[in-house]
């Protein structure tokens, strides 16, 4: 599978990355064997970049990814995780954890301080059982942005200078705040959730030009916008940004699907190919919860996309003219 180098550093990622959110039991319970099957199928398909976070199932995703990757040569994969939430043990008492269907054995405590970042890294390394993390992101800092910028970023930069991690950045959905981070710091990479997709191209206004100017790479996450673009014909109830999609968005997705079908392409295939057309995008990160999903995503990623598809979408007013 094709690889790209991030920013000005030495860290490389496969252009299709494994998103670890579903391995935390996002929306639906997930057993260890199914998770392991998803990871094995992704590896067999050539995926060598794996992303996770303490947030995903209060550690379940990190544990499962670590258990799998410990069986592989360390030089053959790239691993990223995130900081900003510390996990504090608590009595589960039969409750499930937020959107993740795992027992609520821990609670999250926001902490972007230097000590909090370092503790989070230590905890993640222990959960995963690996010797190092290649890439570290400030996570979901939208409501804590000043603390993340003032304290969190310098802590990441310090870890990078010490050689603890190879690349640093932030993973958020707020393209405006990410643009400020790119402009005011020396990050290597940003992970943008759901704001450079077939349905939402607002990052063209600010973040993508800023990344190009500063030599920062972008990883596009939530490229299916939480599900609406994940099937050839999205059904009512399909999610957009973690909520049921509106009738207007569902109609727009079907219009995009019509153009895709006219060019012999499925909606998921086009959704995966779209972000990588921009020169600052180094890869896409796709959540996978089963071996079947992993194989299907890898097949969709490898599909040939005719150039005329993009012209057809622009002609129908379904794609930003700047793309």
Q: Which residues, in sequence order, are CB contacts of 304 under 8 Å at separation 6+?
A: none
Task: Say if strands 85-89 and 96-97 run parallel, antiparallel, or are unpaired.
Answer: unpaired
Show which residues are catalytic: 56
> Whole-angstrom Cα distance, residue 143 to residue 47?
33
| Structure tokens given for 125 | 């390394």
Q: Which residues, in sequence order, are CB contacts of 33 under 8 Å at separation 6+?
A: none
What is the total residue count of the chain?
Answer: 323
Helices (H) and strands (E) in the chain, counts: 11, 16
Is residue 269 within 8 A of residue 300, CB to CB? The reply is: yes
Is residue 286 within 8 A of residue 17, CB to CB? The reply is: yes
159's enclosing H/E stretch is: helix 153-161
- Among candidates 131, 132, 128, 142, which has minimal Cα distance to 23? 128
- Among candidates 57, 64, 71, 75, which has minimal Cα distance to 18? 64
């Amino acid at each position: 599978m094709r690889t790209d180098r991030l920013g000005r550093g030495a860290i490389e990622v496969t252009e299709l990355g494994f998103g670890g959110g579903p391995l935390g039991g996002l929306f639906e319970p997930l057993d260890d064997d199914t998770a392991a099957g998803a990871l094995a199928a992704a590896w067999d398909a050539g995926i060598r970049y794996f992303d996770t976070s303490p947030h995903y199932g209060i550690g379940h995703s990190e544990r499962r990814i670590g258990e799998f990757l410990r069986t592989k040569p360390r030089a053959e994969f790239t691993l990223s995780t995130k900081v900003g939430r510390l996990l504090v043990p608590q009595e589960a008492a039969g409750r499930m954890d937020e959107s993740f269907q795992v027992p609520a054995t821990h609670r999250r405590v926001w902490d972007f301080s230097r000590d909090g970042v370092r503790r989070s890294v230590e905890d993640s390394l222990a959960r995963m059982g690996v010797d190092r993390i290649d890439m570290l992101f400030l996570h979901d800092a939208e409501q804590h942005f000043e603390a993340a910028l003032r304290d969190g970023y310098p802590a990441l930069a310090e870890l990078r200078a010490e050689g603890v991690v190879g690349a640093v950045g932030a993973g958020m959905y707020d393209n405006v705040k990410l643009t400020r981070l790119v402009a005011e710091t020396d990050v290597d990479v940003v992970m943008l959730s759901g704001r450079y997709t077939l349905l939402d191209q607002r990052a063209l206004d600010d973040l993508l030009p800023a990344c190009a100017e500063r030599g920062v790479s972008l990883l596009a996450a939530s490229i299916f916008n939480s599900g609406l673009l994940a099937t050839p014909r999205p059904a009512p109830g399909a999610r957009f940004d973690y909520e049921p999609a509106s009738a207007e968005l569902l109609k727009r997705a079907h219009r995009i699907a019509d153009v895709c079908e006219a060019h012999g392409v499925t909606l998921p295939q086009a959704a995966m190919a779209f972000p990588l057309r921009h020169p600052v995008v180094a890869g896409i990160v796709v959540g996978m919860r089963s071996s079947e999903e992993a194989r299907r995503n890898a097949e969709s990623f490898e599909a040939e996309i005719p150039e005329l598809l993009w012209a057809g979408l622009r002609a129908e007013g379904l794609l930003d003219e700047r793309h």
